[in-house]
């Protein structure tokens, strides 16, 4: 299905597409003038332009031509595979029982099913380096908390709806917390700053508290 274009302000377009990642790559490589930022979301990509000199028809024509050219090229970057160590100890997993209860499973079964799949980074958003991972076992789909926690520790691994992910910063959050990773997921002074990139694959590997402490020391 060709992407559909809708202006979401005088300075931005929402591009509805079933492949936001490919669309994002095509736009980044396009060299189109005046682009300030390109933001992929679920089922869409937003392009923000400098306001000066914008013209509806010209921008729409340029983008349509771009998508015709790139439809057969697709995404050319190699996704990376990551293994994130996660400690599922009760101290880090205040909502593991809730997820288990919702699924009708034991805590051990939840951990088993959470560490089994290879997930895909579908969207990065909410906060720097926060990846929405798709591929969560159906039985683990759990609604987010009714009222979000005001502050949760960095590295917390959670589940909300059909997604799982890890919080790079200590922020507010409404996901069900089932564990914690000792790895730094975002550091603005590193290059690249975010561990996960769009399209990368992620597996979770269970570790115990000793391994967590050992791996945390390097941070």
- Helices 20-30 and 56-70 cross at an angle (nearest 10°) of 110
Residues 59-118 binding other proteins (CB under 8 A) are none
CA within 13 Å, CB half, 114 = 35
56 in contact with other proteins (CB under 8 A): yes
Task: Closer to other proteins by CB, 14 or 180: give it.
Answer: 14
9 in contact with other proteins (CB under 8 A): yes
Task: Closer to other proteins by CB, 25 or 100: give it.
Answer: 25
Cβ atoms of 21 and 199 closer than 8 Å: yes
Peptide bond into 49 cis (omega under 30): no
Closest distance of CB 142 from other proteins, Å: 15
Q: Which stretch binds other proteins (CB under 8 A): 44-52, 67-75, 106-114, 207-215?
A: 44-52
- Would you tell me how many other CB atoms lie within 10 Å of the CB of residue 19? 17
C-alpha distances in Å from residue 204, one per residue of 10, 31, 180, 201: 43, 37, 10, 10
Sheet holding 12-16, edge to edge: 4-9, 12-16, 44-49, 35-41
Out of 124, 152, 159, 178, point to the residue binding other proteins (CB under 8 A): 124
169 in contact with other proteins (CB under 8 A): yes
Out of 128, 135, 153, 206, point to the residue binding other proteins (CB under 8 A): 128
Out of 22, 23, 26, 45, point to the residue binding other proteins (CB under 8 A): 45
Max intra-chain CA distance, the chain: 60
Out of 3, 129, 155, 158, point to the residue binding other proteins (CB under 8 A): 129
Binding mask 173-212 for other proteins (x = CB under 8 A): -------------x-xx--xxx---x--------------
Q: Which residues bind other proteins (CB under 8 A)?
A: 6-12, 14, 24, 36-46, 48, 51-52, 54, 56, 123-130, 132, 169, 171, 186, 188-189, 192-194, 198
């Amino acid at each position: 299905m060709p992407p559909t274009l809708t202006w979401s302000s005088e300075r931005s377009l929402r591009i509805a597409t079933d492949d936001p990642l490919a669309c994002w790559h095509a736009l980044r490589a396009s060299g189109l003038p005046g682009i300030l930022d390109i933001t992929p979301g679920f089922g869409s990509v937003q392009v923000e332009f400098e306001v000066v000199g914008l013209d509806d028809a010209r921008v729409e024509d340029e983008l349509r031509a771009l998508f015709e050219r790139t439809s057969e090229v697709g995404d050319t970057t190699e996704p990376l595979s990551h293994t994130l160590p996660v400690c599922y100890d009760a101290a880090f997993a205040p909502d593991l029982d809730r997820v288990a209860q919702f699924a009708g499973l034991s805590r051990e079964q939840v951990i088993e099913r959470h560490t089994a799949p290879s997930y895909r980074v579908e969207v990065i958003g909410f906060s720097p380096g926060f990846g929405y991972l798709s591929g969560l076992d159906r039985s683990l789909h759990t609604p987010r908390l009714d009222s979000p926690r005001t502050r949760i520790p960095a590295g917390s691994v959670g589940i909300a709806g059909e997604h799982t992910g890890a919080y790079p910063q200590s922020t507010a959050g409404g996901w069900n917390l089932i564990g914690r990773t000792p790895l730094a997921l975002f550091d603005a002074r590193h290059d690249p700053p975010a561990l996960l990139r769009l399209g990368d694959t992620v597996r979770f590997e269970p570790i115990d508290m000793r391994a967590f402490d050992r791996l945390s020391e390097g941070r």
